Amino acid sequence: MSPSEFFFLAAGLVLGIGVGAGLTEVLRARPAARREVRVTIFPESVPGRAATLATSLPDWTLPGVDSRVAPERTFTTGAGSVDRVAIPVVPETLGEPVLAGAAVARLAGREGPGAATARPEADRCAELRQAMEERCGNAERMAAVAAAAAERHRESRRAYDEHVFRRERAAAAMDPRAVRAAKDEAQANFRLARSTARDRDALESAAREWLREINRVNGRSRDSAAIVAREDAAEAGLLQALERLGVEADGARITAESAAVACTEAREALAACEEAERLAALAVEPAGPAFGTPLPEPTVGDLAASEAAGEGEVLGGEAAIVRLLRGDRDTLRALVDELGGDDPDERRRWQIGLTDLVDAILARAIDATALTFPESHPFWGPYTEAQCRDIATALASLGFRFDGLGGFADGRVPSQRDLSLAVGYAGQDPMRIRIWPTEAEMPALFAGVRVDAGRFLAEAAGGLTLGEMVDLLGRRAEGLSDLWNAWGRVRPLLLESR
């Protein structure tokens, strides 16, 4: 073999090895075959445009094919196998899922929109109720945190005040002028005892007493100096703790107030939603206004009837809340039946809640001196209604409050001088009063006076909205959380005229 032939054989061998190695790498890097689903749909098996409620559904029947079954679809896998499956294609009707979409979705391994089933309509107020529960729960927690922070701040303030008292007392005891005065007093006592001493023993006893008193004065001064030094050292820490706890209390209070506002807003939104649901559930009377016509919002002022003059009988057509404020037990029983049903626990809860609401409104009316005075009373009769209320307000400012039952709260009865002061504070001349109640008649000064809670409520919160009631009752509203949480159910019942 010649050298040239040997060279060409070697070159061919090297070239073949390189090309083979390259082909091997290319084939090895090629991705593995994936399984695929290919859908072949015959023409006109799907309508050209979407059907709406304004268009009729087209006839999808194909020649030679049942109207409920479409032609076969071809599904090809990556391995080359072919599966033929008949997928039913039916027109989509209102409230009926598309079977073809569900079948294709199942074959593709996922759920399609057509696989969803119809669900019953959920409570429209559920989200608002959940938001109310969360916000009001947070408000209760924040109120507890704020109360605890305020208590810690008060304890710190009390500790600081005690520190100041101890330091000032010790500083007064170690004052050089006080020490000098105590020693001078001891010296004067010794001189007096010496001048009256009859023998040497009495004189020595007076001298010993004088020395003991001087030692006591010096000891008190040293102890007071130690107390002042100790309190001065502790003052920086007490002040720092007081300031820190004050900032924490303010922050917790602001957070609690914000959470309370959010809770009130959530309750108002829930109440509006529940009232709207209640109105929507009520059937519209055929003789009433047309559907969609807004009805006037009732108020306590619209439904509360005035009293018959001099008879004390209330006319019909009152709101339920007015009858509750008047003490109508039948109305309370009817409301408890409506809200609590047959559950004894629920009935008890609603009865307590409604009673607390009435008590809070009555107490607020008494605070505002919303009273009606008898015209035949010897003392109240000569005054107008406004003047009587001014005198009652002045008496309350002096600590003599009406208890709502014809007497004075806490048994505090004014004297004639107190009544004279109240009349003067009300802008009236006490000298013009012809008949003064005697001391024996003074406890019955408010006999015949009634709380005009219905008129007070109509003027202050005639709509009985949640915001009006919370603003009206103030701190008394804090114990009525169950009522506020269900105010959308309670308010329409309280405004009903029966």
Q: How does pLDDT run across 314-360, given as a tens digit for each residue? A: 334 688 899 899 888 999 999 999 888 888 899 999 999 999 999 99
Q: Percent helix, strand and coil across the chain, each rounded to 5?
A: 60, 5, 35
What is the span of the domain harbouring residue 346? 300-495
pLDDT above 50: residue 286: no
Q: pLDDT tens digits, residue range 223-238?
A: 888 888 888 888 888 8
- What pLDDT, on a 0 to 100 scale, did the predictor assign at position 19? 67
- What pLDDT, on a 0 to 100 scale, did the predictor assign at position 94? 35
What number is the average pLDDT over the span 466-488? 87
Q: Which residues of 52-64 are buried (b: 16+ CB within 10 A; e: fewer)?
A: eeeeeeeebebee
pLDDT above 80: residue 460: yes
Query: What is the number of structural domains in the chain?
Result: 3
| Alpha-carbon distances, residue 60 vs 41, 46, 68, 161 (angstroms) | 13, 8, 9, 92
- 107 plus 175 within the same structural domain: no
The answer to the question of residue 292 being in a domain is no
Portion of the chain with pLDDT greater than 70, in percent: 70
Confidence of residue 117 (pLDDT cuts 50, 70, 90): very low
The answer to the question of residue 401 being in a domain is yes
- 361 plus 456 within the same structural domain: yes
Residue of 188, 239, 237 lying closest to 209 (CA atoms): 188
- 215 plus 192 within the same structural domain: yes
- What pLDDT, on a 0 to 100 scale, did the predictor assign at position 357? 92
- 483 plus 382 within the same structural domain: yes
Q: Which of 281, 316, 346 is the last residue of a domain?
A: 281
The answer to the question of residue 160 being in a domain is yes
- What pLDDT, on a 0 to 100 scale, did the predictor assign at position 222? 86
- 250 plus 383 within the same structural domain: no
Least confident window among 112-121, 265-274, 379-388, 453-462: 112-121
- 132 plus 103 within the same structural domain: no
Least confident window among 68-82, 184-198, 269-283: 68-82
- What pLDDT, on a 0 to 100 scale, did the predictor assign at position 395? 92
Residue of 212, 202, 206, 173 lying closest to 189 (CA atoms): 206
DSSP state of 32: P
Q: Which tokens sit at 351?
A: 């009865």
Considering only residues 347 and 6, tell me which one the structure prediction assigns the higher pLDDT.
Answer: 347
- What pLDDT, on a 0 to 100 scale, did the predictor assign at position 360? 92
What number is the average pLDDT over the span 458-466? 86
- What pLDDT, on a 0 to 100 scale, did the predictor assign at position 80? 46
pLDDT above 90: residue 309: no
- Helix, strand or coil for residue 65? coil
Rounded to two decimals, the pTM is 0.54
- 179 plus 261 within the same structural domain: yes
- 346 plus 210 within the same structural domain: no
- 312 plus 420 within the same structural domain: yes
- What pLDDT, on a 0 to 100 scale, did the predictor assign at position 352? 93
- What pLDDT, on a 0 to 100 scale, did the predictor assign at position 394? 92
Question: Mean of the per-residue pLDDT values for the chain?
Answer: 75
- 269 plus 157 within the same structural domain: yes
**Count of C-beta atoms within a 10 Å radius of residue 134:** 13
- 149 plus 218 within the same structural domain: yes
- 73 plus 156 within the same structural domain: no
